[in-house]
Structure 1
């Protein structure tokens, strides 16, 4: 199941997936995260059998905080 230290090749093997309450439901650009694991797995909600990227809890919290505070650069 684990491809390397930072990814999981088939994310459907994990449980606890959820989408943000801010998701508009259009399925166009949604991420899902999973609870209850040593690291925080994150995947594309449209690719449930695709890979997941693993974040440390601190790394995930820093990312979420940056998103909420608008600290990420916008693509051109």
Structure 2
């Protein structure tokens, strides 16, 4: 089953990183979620819009996951 939020959290645990910050707010009648992951020298940030908090959290995690993987592999 596709679980990008779980995949992000597993990478966070594996590399002992600071827990990601998922920030929610309403934007033009939709939920907006911004995921911020702070690394030693970098801050990764992605934002998505959707109908529910769960939907936007999943979309945001799906968007940030390849960026996080690439950053961890290059460091």
Q: Could you say which structure has the higher strand fraction?
A: 2
Q: Could you say which structure has the higher helix fraction?
A: 2
Short-chain TM bin: 0.3 to 0.5
TM-score normalised by length of structure 2? 0.33
TM-score normalised by length of structure 1? 0.33
